[in-house]
């Protein structure tokens, strides 16, 4: 039971993916301007964080594989 | 028949044929029927999961909420991402346990982990109780989509009957393998529909997404930041996103879908790529905003939208050629059927396996479980249809109640994977306390503190109860813990 060595290192990526949607980050992102890609900033930020979740989990994958398959 | 209906029902017929064909030449067994013989690879598991996850809510509710209330709908963007980040750690272990211990349902795991038949039956019954309203919601969503797309040429009741006869046929014949192959097709058409619709409608009315938002910010500035027009603020947004993110994989149909992956590595890689599917929801949210801006400029247009859930299709009919409406209609119907078929099979699975074989009728063989489950497929569909015809109500509220209830499984499931401390009595007490709190808030007319989701308060009380009761009740037997320790600490070779 418990997480593997690699997974423990990867927990930080899970936290980044979750906290990006949570206050205080969303308190900062909760604005209309600047518009990015035509979208008001809050909607843009959330779209970016969805992609960011993919990037975080990809990093988590490589870190976990790297540490656990030596 | 119009082009729109030809496309929608043509697509339905094609998926039904694929679903039926998928089950050919497969020996009928419990494992084959409910978890597709644990055979799905990366792509098939991806599309199966995505199509089960994204329901008719992703077409109707998302756009309707953005249109009527504003940007608080983006809690739905947040919770999907949160759930995938968590799935990275728990998904592979659920798959591994399923494979080594021969689980085919969610209560199979909880029952075995804590050595309690009662817990298994409790979780199965609660699961069925929350699946039925969710299924009813999908049925009504599918009917509404076809009725709207056809411009009222076909009633929602007729559309529902045609769609669900089709769904029952392929689920009955092919079980989860049929769902897997139809979902492969459904996931693709959903992606095409969701991905394109936001830009099509914004371009038509405003000449682009940027110009549309510039208009909306003038006309309805409260739509674009929190708290939005509905008054839902950041605290509501964060607690709802977190609650739904934790509860996500506790849905019995998604939990047991995890067993269908060929290996835990398939599951882990899917935790990486599933967030990308989420991006398709952004254009649908944009459609809702586009309709809000359009109505802001032209209030007469708003009169055509009787309920927010109709916003997307009213705008589509107003602005797009019939074949595009048909494609979107097929996409929306696909979203609904793919989620429904998983729910139907899972309700049948929970009943035959956990309520009957492990509860009321313990002499049943696995083959009898498979056959009984198959018979229950049309039965549960009929029950949900009856609810849909006799007791219709608004989409999103039901979904949030279901989520709050299902999330109460989270402590038992996750602590069972990572900790030896929780006891049988602790987990049962936790679920009961969580559900009691939820129902008190939901139906007792009492407001949860700080504007939190009732389910969130339930979840906190649930965790506290598990830990408190576990501290003085009989621990799980040592040999059982040892068996789980062994499986949980040995990763499957790549």
Alpha-helix residue ranges (DSSP H) falling in A1-70: 5-19, 25-29, 41-68
Query: Which chain B residues are closer than 8 Å to A31 by Cβ?
Result: 225
B170 and B16 Cβ atoms separated by less than 8 Å: yes
What does the pLDDT look like over B281-322, one tens digit per residue?
999 999 999 999 999 999 999 999 999 999 999 999 999 999
ipTM here: 0.97
The confidence score (pLDDT) of residue B393 equals: 62
C-alpha distance from A27 to closest chain B C-alpha (Å): 7
Query: Which chain B residues are closer than 8 Å to A22 by Cβ?
Result: 238, 241-242
C-alpha distance from A43 to closest chain B C-alpha (Å): 8
What does the pLDDT look like over B104-133, one tens digit per residue?
999 999 999 999 999 999 999 999 988 988
| Cβ atoms within 10 Å of B118's Cβ, excluding its own | 12
Closest CA to B350 of B380, B321, B320, B323: B380
Query: Which chain B residues are closer than 8 Å to A29 by Cβ?
Result: none
Is the pLDDT higher at B425 or at B192? B425
Check B84 against A53: CB less than 8 A apart: yes
Check A1 against B419: CB less than 8 A apart: yes
Q: Kindly indicate the confidence band of residue B400, based on its pLDDT and cuts at 50, 70 and 90.
A: low
Residue A11 CB burial class (10 angstroms; 0-12, 13-18, ≥19) = middle
Nearest-by-Cβ selection for A1 from B214, B221, B420? B420
Q: Kindly indicate the confidence band of residue B345, based on its pLDDT and cuts at 50, 70 and 90.
A: very high
A29 touches chain B (CB under 8 A): no
The confidence score (pLDDT) of residue B395 equals: 39
Nearest-by-Cβ selection for A42 from B85, B224, B484? B224
> Does B450 have pLDDT greater than 80?
no
Helix axes B75-101, B281-297, angle to 10 degrees: 150
Query: To probe the interface with B, which of A15, A23, A54, A56 has the most B CB atoms within 10 Å?
Result: A54
B264 and B95 Cβ atoms separated by less than 8 Å: yes
Check A1 against B285: CB less than 8 A apart: no
SS3 category, B147: helix
Q: Kindly indicate the confidence band of residue B389, based on its pLDDT and cuts at 50, 70 and 90.
A: confident
Q: Two tokens at B81?
A: 């991402």
């Amino acid at each position: 039971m418990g997480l593997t060595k690699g997974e423990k290192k990867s927990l930080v990526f899970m936290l980044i993916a979750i906290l990006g949607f949570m206050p205080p980050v969303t308190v900062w992102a909760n604005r209309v301007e600047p518009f990015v890609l035509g979208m008001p900033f809050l909607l843009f930020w959330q779209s970016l964080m969805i992609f960011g979740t993919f990037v975080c989990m990809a990093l988590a994958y490589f870190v976990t594989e790297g540490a656990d398959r030596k | 028949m119009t082009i729109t209906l030809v496309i929608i029902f043509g697509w339905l017929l094609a998926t039904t044929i694929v679903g039926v064909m998928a089950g050919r030449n497969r020996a009928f067994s419990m494992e084959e029927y409910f978890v597709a013989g644990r055979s799905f690879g990366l792509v098939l598991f991806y599309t199966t999961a995505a199509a089960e996850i994204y329901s008719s809510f992703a077409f109707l509710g998302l756009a309707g909420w953005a249109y009527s209330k504003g940007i608080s709908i983006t809690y739905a963007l947040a919770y999907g991402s949160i759930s995938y980040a968590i799935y990275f750690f728990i998904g592979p272990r659920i798959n591994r346990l399923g494979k080594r211990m021969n689980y085919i349902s969610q209560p199979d795991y909880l029952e075995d982990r804590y050595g309690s038949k009662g817990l298994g039956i409790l979780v199965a019954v609660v699961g069925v109780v929350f699946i039925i309203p969710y299924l009813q919601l999908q049925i009504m969503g599918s009917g509404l989509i076809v009725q709207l797309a056809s411009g009222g040429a076909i009633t929602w009741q007729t559309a529902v009957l045609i769609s669900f006869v089709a769904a029952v046929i392929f689920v009955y014949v092919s079980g989860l393998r049929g769902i897997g192959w139809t979902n492969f097709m459904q996931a693709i058409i959903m992606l095409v529909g969701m991905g394109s619709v936001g830009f099509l409608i914004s371009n038509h009315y405003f000449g682009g997404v940027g110009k549309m938002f510039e208009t909306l910010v003038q006309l309805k500035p409260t739509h674009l930041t929190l708290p939005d027009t509905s008054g839902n603020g950041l605290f509501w947004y964060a607690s709802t996103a977190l609650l739904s993110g934790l509860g996500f994989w506790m849905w019995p149909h998604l939990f047991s879908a995890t067993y269908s992956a060929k290996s835990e590595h398939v599951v882990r890689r899917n935790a990486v790529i599933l967030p990308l599917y989420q991006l398709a929801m952004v254009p649908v949210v944009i459609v809702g905003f586009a309709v809000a801006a359009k109505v802001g400029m032209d209030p007469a247009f708003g009169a055509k939208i009787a309920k927010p859930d109709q916003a997307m299709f009213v705008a589509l009919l107003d602005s797009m050629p019939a074949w595009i409406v048909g494609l979107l209609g097929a996409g929306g119907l696909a979203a609904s059927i793919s989620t429904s078929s998983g729910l139907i099979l899972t309700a049948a699975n929970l009943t035959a396996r956990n309520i009957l074989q492990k509860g009321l009728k313990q002499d049943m063989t696995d083959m009898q479980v498979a056959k009984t489950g198959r018979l229950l497929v049309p039965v549960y569909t009929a029950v949900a249809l009856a609810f849909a015809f006799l007791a219709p109500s608004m989409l999103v509220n039901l979904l949030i109640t279901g989520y709050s209830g299902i999330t109460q499984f989270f402590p038992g499931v996750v602590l069972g994977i990572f900790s030896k401390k929780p006891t049988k009595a602790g987990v049962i007490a936790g679920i009961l306390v969580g559900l009691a709190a939820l129902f008190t808030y939901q139906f007792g007319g009492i407001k949860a503190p700080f504007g939190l989701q009732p389910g969130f308060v339930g979840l906190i009380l649930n965790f506290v109860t598990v830990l408190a009761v576990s501290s003085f009740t009989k621990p799980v037997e040592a040999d059982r813990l040892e068996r789980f320790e062994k499986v949980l600490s040995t990763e499957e070779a790549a």
